[in-house]
Structure 1
Amino acid sequence: MNLNELRDRAYKTACDHGFHDEELSNEHCLCLVISELMEAVEADRKGRFAKVPVDKKDTIFDERTFHYQNKYFAENFEAYIKDCVEDELADAAIRLLDLCGLRKIDIEDFTEEMLYGAEESCNDETFTESVYAISTIPIRYEYEYDYPLGGQLNSMLLAIFGLAKHLDIDLIWHINQKMRYNDLRENKHGKKY
């Protein structure tokens, strides 16, 4: 997975949709990441998980048909994926990727060992505890470890990927689908910011 390519794509889409028409603080952007994580908690509380099979071949999610040029893509995305845990975790990752693009921060390659460690850290936690731990990384890592913003964002991304792996979620697939869906949306997705 090349997260720097995804970073550039997320940032370009955000720019194209007006999200960077004005200068926003890191705190503003991080709050929006956390809001996506809280939406994931709400989806989990409601038992809302995407109805996407692992093997997508010969289903509506097959790459041959499940793409933004298919007139049913948005409709199927909204029916089977939108507002589910997977979708909200993808949103949080996309917002982090976008912030990395905005601040010109490189994303490190996450090794299997790093992903395994991030996944293992979720073993004795509830979903909400894992999300809380991710949400507090910027504060904890700045004050406890003096991590710069880049280290904080990389750590948050790694933790989200670890949680997704713990839940058997193909986060890269969900990020790609959400980015395709976002490409079709109106300026600022119809929101104030």
Structure 2
Amino acid sequence: MSNIDLNILRDQAYKIACDHGFHDKELSNEHFLCLVISELMEAVEADRKGKRFDKGKYEYNEITECQGWLTAEEKFINVFNRCIKDTVEDELADAVIRLFDLAGMRNISLELVTKDMADGIDDMAESCKDETFTESIYAISTLVSRYDGLYDFPTAINDMIMAIFGLAKYLDIDLLWHIEQKMKYNQFREKMHGKKY
């Protein structure tokens, strides 16, 4: 994972968001951070309901999704909806994608998180071992407000991304894979993903 350039994923997430109307009007950093926090809260709800990704079920569904009249895109969407959508993994991926989008919109480099990926993620994962899932999510959700006046906004965004990757590592989640799947899924969705904002 240390070879991954997160700025490329940032640019892809921002482009997908632009293509789907999320930047048709100028909105504040607080607006976009609220959407990040909403994704983190959806992860909490998924955790409360026990909705976790099942790799075996996913692989089985990939093989058996064989209706001849469906396109490859439709098959992908069907399997994603059955096996990934609304799981803890999916919601954590959504939170990072929204942070990538915000970083892309504000031209924030993600070199800090990319450079410190291995050590930083290990440190963040270690910090999760004495916390409940909700405590870890709370810590991530409040990071920007706790950093206010201490660190600049780009550092806070980089650290939020690193913290989510750390939590994912602690939970043994291949977050990068889930981000890639969700970004692919998002490309096929309607404008604003059918939402008001």
TM-score by length of 2: 0.89
Please, which of 154, 178, 181 is the counterpart of residue 177 of structure 1? 181
Q: Is the 8 A contact 1:52 1:61 kept in 2?
A: no
Please, which of 3, 9, 12 is the counterpart of residue 12 of structure 2? 9
Please name the residue that 1:34 is paired with: 37
Q: For the aligned residues, what is the CA RMSD? A: 1.8
Q: What is the one-letter code of the residue matched to 1:182?
A: N
Please name the residue that 2:23 is paired with: 20
Please, which of 95, 101, 123 is the counterpart of residue 129 of structure 2? 123
Please name the residue that 1:102 is paired with: 105
Please name the residue that 1:165 is paired with: 169
CA deviation digits over 1:44-89, x for unaligned, max 9?
Answer: 00000012249x8x75558xx9xx9443110110000000000000
Q: What is the one-letter code of the residue matched to 2:44?
A: V
Q: Is the 8 A contact 1:52 1:81 kept in 2?
A: no
Q: What is the one-letter code of the residue matched to 1:119?
A: A
Task: Answer 1 or 2: which has greater helix percent.
Answer: 2
Are residue 150 (structure 1) and residue 159 (structure 2) matched?
Answer: no
Please name the residue that 1:78 is paired with: 81
Please name the residue that 2:48 is paired with: 45
Q: What secondary structure sits across from 1:147 in the alignment?
A: coil
User: How many pairs are equivalent?
Assistant: 185
Q: Is the 8 A contact 1:17 1:186 kept in 2?
A: yes
Q: Is the 8 A contact 2:117 2:162 kept in 1?
A: no
TM-score by length of 1: 0.91
Runs (5+) with no aligned partner, structure 1: none
2 CA distance for matches of 1:113 and 1:3?
A: 16
Q: What secondary structure sits across from 2:24 in the alignment?
A: coil
Runs (5+) with no aligned partner, structure 2: none
Cα 1:44–1:137 shift into 2, 3 Å? same
Following superposition, the deviation at residue 157 of structure 1 comes to 0.1
Following superposition, the deviation at residue 114 of structure 1 comes to 1.1
2 CA distance for matches of 1:153 and 1:76?
A: 32
Please name the residue that 1:134 is paired with: 140
Q: Which runs of 4+ in 1 moved over 3 A?
A: 58-62
Are residue 114 (structure 1) and residue 139 (structure 2) matched?
Answer: no
